[in-house]
Chains A and B, each alone.
Chain A
Amino acid sequence: MQVKNIIKVALRSIMKSRMRSLLTALGIIIGVAAVVVMVAIGDGAQKQVEDQISSLGSNLIVITPGASASGGVNRGMGSFNRFTFDDVQKIKDEATLITGVTPIVRSGGQVIGGIGNWFTQIQGVSPDYLEIRSWKLKSGEFFTERDVLARSKVCVLGSEVAKNLFPDDDPIGQQIRIRNVPFKIIGVLSEKGQTSVGTSNDDIILAPSRTVHERLSGGRFISSIQVSAVSPAQIPKAKEELRKIMREAHKLTQGEEDDFTIQDQADLATAATETSKILTILLGSVAGVSLIVGGIGIMNIMLVSVTERTREIGIRLSIGARSSDILIQFLTEAVVLSLAGGILGVSLSFGVSYLLNNYTSQAANIQPEIIFLAFSFAGAIGIFFGFYPARKASKLNPIDALRYE
C-alpha cells in the first residue's frame, strides 16, 4: 500500500469523526501551547532581566557587605553590615578609575503629601547617583554635596510617586512628610520602568544620604555602595582597585577574607539570568507533563476507537489489508492528530503570547527552537502513545473482527 493511500485512509477516518478527533487532539493542543507559552514567558522574563540590568548603567559596580560565596566560611550576603560613610569617602578620595560613588541608605515608609499618602521606599544617595545609574531628571534639580553635608530635608520623587501623590499639579517646591519628617521636593525623576522582580523602578524617593541615614533609617549602616567605572573596559581594574581600598578601609590583614562583595553588571546578569533560566526549566517541565497527559489521552481514545472500530478493521482485513496496513493506518491517525494538535497548539501559543505582550506587563518571547521542539515532541508522543493501540488493532483476527457487534 502506498504512503499516499495510507495517509488518505487515515485522514478520511479522522474527518469521519471530527468531534472525537478534536477532543483527542485537544490534550496535545493544550500541552504544546502550555510548553511554548511557559518557555516563552521564562524567556521573556530572562530578557526583561537582561534589559533591566543594562538599564542600571553599563559601568555600574556594586559593593555589598558580606563575603562572596567562594571558599571558607560564608557569613552570608549582607548579614554583617559594616559599611560607613568613611568607606565611601575613602573610595571617593582614593579611587582613580571611577567617575562617581554613592552610598545607598535604604529606608521606607508612609509618605504624606499632595492628594493623599503613599507607601514607598526611600533611598539615601549622593549627588553622583544619577550619573552612576544613568538616570535623568524629568523636571527640577538634584541635590548637591552641600545638601548631603547639611543634612538638608530635600528629596527627588520617582515618577510613580509623583503620579500618585501629585496627579494634577507640579510637585516641585511642595512639601511632603516622610514618616513625619517634612521634606521639600526639588525634582522629579524620569521614568525607568520595571525592575527585574517586576516592581517599579519609579516607585522611589531619593534624598541626601546623610539625611536619610540620620533622620529616617535611625543611624543604621549603609546597605551598599554603588560606583561607576570610567569605562566598561576599566571595570576589572576598577574592581581590583576598589577591593584594595575596601580592604584597607576595613583593616583586613593578609590572609583574611574580604568582608564585602564587589560585583559588576556581568556578575549581576549571570546571577539573575541563572534564576530565570531555572524558572524557564521549571515552567517548561510542568507544561511538558501536560503534554504527556495529552499523549495518554490520545492513547486512551485510540484504544477505545480500536474496540469501537473492530468491525471496520475486520472489513479492511477481509478486503485485503495486511496487518501492517492496519498498524500504519492507526499509527498515522495518532501522529496526524498529534501533529495537528501541535500546529493548533503553536498557533494558540502565538495568540496567548500576543495577548500577554500587548495587554499585560508579562513579556513572552517565542523562540523558533522551542516551536520545533514542541512540535517534534508532539509527533513523538503520537508515535509513542499511538503504537500500542495500533498494534492491538493490527493483531485482530479477521473472522472475529468481522463478527464483532
Chain B
Amino acid sequence: MARNIIRTSGLSKTYVIGEVEVHALRKVDINIDQGEFVAIMGASGSGKSTLMNLIGCLDKPTSGEYYIDGQDTSKFSPNQYASIRNQKIGFVFQGFNLLSRTTALENVELPLLYDRTHGIKDPVEKAKKALERIGLGDRMHHIPSQLSGGQQQRVAIARALVNEPALILADEPTGNLDSRTSVEVFSVFQELNEEGITIILVTHERDFALFAKRIIELRDGKVTKDFAIKNRLDAKEELKKLKEDSVLQGQED
C-alpha cells in the first residue's frame, strides 16, 4: 500500500467576523497517498483556499484532525508548523511569490537556508540541481523580472522541490499565465508526478484540473465529489496539439 501523505478527519474551520460565524470548512475527510495528483476544485467561497491553508500548515483548524506524512499536527507549536512547511511541503503560488531582485538560484536556495534538521552542506549545489531538473540551468543568475511568467513559475517549482518535500501544494499555479504556458507548467507537474512526487493542485478551472489524476470538489465547505479522472489529459500531447494548431493557423494566414 502506498504511503499516506494527507489524512484529515472531521477537519473544520470557522472564522468569526464580528458577531457572525463563517463555517469555511465543515467536517472534511480526505485521504491522499503518495504519488497522487489531486486537483481540489470549487468556486470561490467553497472553502478550497481554507483547505489549502490547513493542508499547507499555514493555519490551524478549529476542530478535527490532520495528519501529514503520518504526523498528527493538532498539537504542533508554531515552530513545528514552520518545520513542516519547510520539510514536508513545497508551495507554488499563483503570483509566483519569488523574492524580487534576487536571482533564481538564491530564491531556490532559500528553503535550504531555513532547514534546521539536515544541516545541508552545499545549498548552492542542491539549488542548482533543482533548477537543472526543471530545465532552467541556464537562467540561474537571472532575477525574476528578467524571466518570463512561465520561467518564474518554474523557478517557484524548483524552490518547492529543493527540500524534497512529501508533497507539492500548488495554488492556482497558472492563474497568471496564458494557456500555452499553463500547459507547459502542467507538463512539468506531470513529469514530477511521474517521478513519484505527490501534487495537490488547487484550481477553479476544470480544463486544468483534468491534468490531475483525481478531483476533489468542494462546495460550501464540504466535499461534494471525489473521483478519479478517466480520460486524463497529457500535457505533452496538448502542447503538441497547440503547436500544430499554431502551425495550421500560420498556414491559413
Interfacial residues, chain A to chain B (CB-CB below 8 A):
1-2, 5, 8-9, 12, 16-17, 311-312, 314-325, 398-399, 402
* Chain B interfacial residues counted at CB < 8 A: 28
- Which residues of B have CB within 8 Å of A311? 97
- Mask for B60-92, Cβ within 8 A of A = 1, else 0? 000000000000000000110011011100010
Contact A316 to B114, CB < 8 A, known contacts A322-B79, A323-B78, A402-B93: yes
Measured in the bound complex, the distance between the Cα atoms of B81 and A324 in whole Å is: 13
A selection of 10 A-B contacts at a CB cut-off of 8 Å is A12-B106, A16-B102, A17-B101, A312-B99, A315-B99, A318-B93, A319-B91, A319-B159, A320-B163, A402-B58
- Which residues of B have CB within 8 Å of A398? 58
Nearest A residue to B84 via CB reads A320
Instruction: Decide if A320 touches B106 in the complex (CB within 8 Å).
Output: no
Measured in the bound complex, the distance between the Cα atoms of B111 and A235 in whole Å is: 77
What's the dominant secondary structure at chain A's contact region?
helix
Shortest CB-to-CB span from A5 to chain B, Å, is: 4
Measured in the bound complex, the distance between the Cα atoms of B159 and A320 in whole Å is: 12
A319 contact from B78, B111, B116, B119, Cβ within 8 A: B111
Instruction: Decide if B58 touches A325 in the complex (CB within 8 Å).
Output: no
Instruction: Decide if B102 touches A318 in the complex (CB within 8 Å).
Output: no
- Which residues of A have CB within 8 Å of B59? 399
The answer to whether the Cβ of B110 comes within 8 Å of any Cβ in the partner chain is yes
- Which residues of B have CB within 8 Å of A314? 97
By Cβ-Cβ distance, the 5 closest A-B pairs, closest first, are A320-B86, A322-B82, A5-B113, A319-B111, A320-B114
Measured in the bound complex, the distance between the Cα atoms of B113 and A8 in whole Å is: 9
Instruction: Decide if B79 touches A318 in the complex (CB within 8 Å).
Output: no
Shortest CB-to-CB span from B15 to chain A, Å, is: 11
The answer to whether the Cβ of B35 comes within 8 Å of any Cβ in the partner chain is no
Shortest CB-to-CB span from A374 to chain B, Å, is: 32
- Which residues of A have CB within 8 Å of B46? none
A1-B116, A315-B97, A319-B85 given; 19 more Cβ-contact pairs under 8 Å: A16-B101, A16-B102, A316-B114, A317-B85, A318-B56, A318-B85, A318-B91, A319-B111, A320-B86, A320-B87, A320-B115, A320-B163, A321-B114, A322-B78, A322-B83, A323-B78, A399-B53, A399-B58, A402-B93
Nearest B residue to A15 via CB reads B101
B85 contact from A8, A12, A312, A320, Cβ within 8 A: A320
Instruction: Decide if A316 touches B110 in the complex (CB within 8 Å).
Output: yes
Shortest CB-to-CB span from B62 to chain A, Å, is: 15
Shortest CB-to-CB span from A25 to chain B, Å, is: 19
Nearest B residue to A319 via CB reads B111
Instruction: Decide if B114 touches A324 in the complex (CB within 8 Å).
Output: no
Nearest A residue to B82 via CB reads A322
- Mask for B100-121, Cβ within 8 A of A = 1, else 0? 0110001000110111100100
User: Which of the listed residues B53, B58, B102, B115 has the most CB atoms from chain A within 10 Å of its own CB?
Assistant: B58
A9 contact from B98, B101, B113, B119, Cβ within 8 A: B113
Nearest A residue to B53 via CB reads A399
Measured in the bound complex, the distance between the Cα atoms of B81 and A321 in whole Å is: 10
- Which residues of B have CB within 8 Å of A319? 85-86, 91, 110-111, 114, 159
- Which residues of B have CB within 8 Å of A320? 82-83, 85-87, 111, 114-115, 163
Contact A1 to B99, CB < 8 A, known contacts A323-B78, A398-B58, A402-B93: no
User: Which of the listed residues A2, A5, A16, A324 has the most CB atoms from chain B within 10 Å of its own CB?
Assistant: A5
Shortest CB-to-CB span from A323 to chain B, Å, is: 6
Shortest CB-to-CB span from A170 to chain B, Å, is: 74
Shortest CB-to-CB span from A327 to chain B, Å, is: 12
Measured in the bound complex, the distance between the Cα atoms of B111 and A1 in whole Å is: 10
Measured in the bound complex, the distance between the Cα atoms of B91 and A312 in whole Å is: 14
Shortest CB-to-CB span from A255 to chain B, Å, is: 82
Shortest CB-to-CB span from B145 to chain A, Å, is: 13
Measured in the bound complex, the distance between the Cα atoms of B83 and A325 in whole Å is: 12
Nearest B residue to A312 via CB reads B99
- Which residues of A have CB within 8 Å of B53? 399
User: Which of the listed residues B53, B99, B106, B111 has the most CB atoms from chain A within 10 Å of its own CB?
Assistant: B99
Nearest A residue to B143 via CB reads A16
Measured in the bound complex, the distance between the Cα atoms of B52 and A398 in whole Å is: 13
Shortest CB-to-CB span from A396 to chain B, Å, is: 12
- Which residues of A have CB within 8 Å of B114? 1, 5, 316, 319-322, 325
User: Which of the listed residues A1, A2, A319, A323 has the most CB atoms from chain B within 10 Å of its own CB?
Assistant: A319
Measured in the bound complex, the distance between the Cα atoms of B93 and A379 in whole Å is: 38
Measured in the bound complex, the distance between the Cα atoms of B89 and A398 in whole Å is: 15
Shortest CB-to-CB span from B66 to chain A, Å, is: 16
Measured in the bound complex, the distance between the Cα atoms of B86 and A321 in whole Å is: 7
- Which residues of A have CB within 8 Å of B99? 312, 315
- Which residues of A have CB within 8 Å of B58? 317-318, 398-399, 402
Shortest CB-to-CB span from B212 to chain A, Å, is: 22
Shortest CB-to-CB span from A14 to chain B, Å, is: 12
B97 contact from A2, A17, A402, Cβ within 8 A: A402
- Mask for B119-145, Cβ within 8 A of A = 1, else 0? 100000000000000000000000000
A12 contact from B79, B102, B111, Cβ within 8 A: B102
- Which residues of A have CB within 8 Å of B163? 320
Nearest A residue to B98 via CB reads A315
User: Which of the listed residues B83, B98, B114 has the most CB atoms from chain A within 10 Å of its own CB?
Assistant: B114
Nearest A residue to B160 via CB reads A319
- Which residues of B have CB within 8 Å of A17? 101
- Which residues of A have CB within 8 Å of B91? 318-319
- Which residues of B have CB within 8 Å of A399? 53, 58-59
- Which residues of B have CB within 8 Å of A402? 58, 93, 97
Shortest CB-to-CB span from A332 to chain B, Å, is: 13
Measured in the bound complex, the distance between the Cα atoms of B81 and A320 in whole Å is: 8
- Which residues of A have CB within 8 Å of B159? 319
Measured in the bound complex, the distance between the Cα atoms of B113 and A312 in whole Å is: 15
- Mask for B141-177, Cβ within 8 A of A = 1, else 0? 0000000000000000001000100000000000000
